[in-house]
Chain A
Amino acid sequence: RKEVEQDPGPFNVPEGATVAFNCTYSNSASQSFFWYRQDCRKEPKLLMSVYSSGNEDGRFTAQLNRASQYISLLIRDSKLSDSATYLCVVNRGNNDMRFGAGTRLTVKP
């Protein structure tokens, strides 16, 4: 079993839709969590950190459930520019990061 699991998708949604991605992690000692986005043939870019209390940044909301070892990302009012692969990243401690394989999102007109 992979340490960080994501639904690979692809998710194909129309503009304006709301879409949610899920991620589970197996190492209960993991300390911090992040969502990155990666555009085709580009490097991963930090989208947002995920805090225990949940956090929101514009149309993006991240949630963490430590008991279930589960992280989510919600995108509201999807834009064409949101099309990318979304990577769930877990810090196991000492800045030892583990990546999920990513969930591919395509937003269509």
Chain B
Amino acid sequence: EAGVTQFPSHSVIEKGQTVTLRCDPISGHDNLYWYRRVMGKEIKFLLHFVKESKQDESGMPNNRFLAERTGGTYSTLKVQPAELEDSGVYFCASSRVREPYEQYFGPGTRLTVT
């Protein structure tokens, strides 16, 4: 079974630019999550999709972040315009909607805003 994949693995952009991150969950996993880890801090929840619907987006830091999951398959997370404090590693995870609820993580996208 293929795991969660994310693209790109690294992105370096300048402040004010736009970046779009992509996540492909494990096939059959309707739950999809975005998380972020900034340097020296714990992993923090951003939002949760069930299929194409946003179940919970309480962790999104501000309206510069937009997540979509059209068709309930892959998801994108766009940051526009990027700020310095957006730097960090963005992880995507997926899980089934029934037990077991274990989440499986992608390798992450390391975003650096200069």
Q: Which residues of A line the B interface, CB within 8 A?
A: 2, 4, 32, 34, 42-46, 49, 87, 91, 94-102
Contact of A43 with B106 in the complex, beta carbons under 8 Å = yes
Interface of B is mostly: strand
Contact of B42 with A97 in the complex, beta carbons under 8 Å = no
Contact of B105 with A99 in the complex, beta carbons under 8 Å = no
Candidate in A2, A45, A99 with the most chain B CB atoms within 10 angstroms:
A99
Q: Of A42, A46, A101, A102, which one neighbours B103 at CB under 8 angstroms?
A: A46
Least Cβ distance of A78 to chain B in Å?
A: 24
Contact of A95 with B45 in the complex, beta carbons under 8 Å = no
Contact of B45 with A43 in the complex, beta carbons under 8 Å = no
Q: Which of B46-69 contact A (CB under 8 A)?
A: 48, 55-56
Least Cβ distance of B50 to chain A in Å?
A: 8
Q: Which residue of B lies closest to A100 (CB)?
A: B42
Contacts A34-B102, A94-B56, A102-B42 given; indicate if A43 touches B107 (C-beta within 8 A): yes
Q: Of B42, B45, B55, B102, which one neighbours A46 at CB under 8 angstroms?
A: B102
Report the number of A-B residue pairs with Cβ-Cβ less than 8 Å: 46
Q: Of A4, A43, A46, A49, which one neighbours B108 at CB under 8 angstroms?
A: A43
16 sampled A-B residue pairs with Cβ under 8 A: A43-B91, A43-B107, A43-B108, A44-B43, A44-B105, A46-B102, A46-B103, A49-B102, A87-B43, A95-B31, A95-B33, A95-B48, A95-B103, A96-B48, A99-B42, A100-B42
A49: which B residues are within 8 A, CB to CB?
100, 102
Contact of B103 with A97 in the complex, beta carbons under 8 Å = yes
A102: which B residues are within 8 A, CB to CB?
42
Contact of B42 with A101 in the complex, beta carbons under 8 Å = yes
- B75 interface contact, C-beta 8 A: no
Q: Which residue of B lies closest to A45 (CB)?
A: B105
Contact of B48 with A32 in the complex, beta carbons under 8 Å = no
Q: Which residue of A lies closest to B50 (CB)?
A: A95
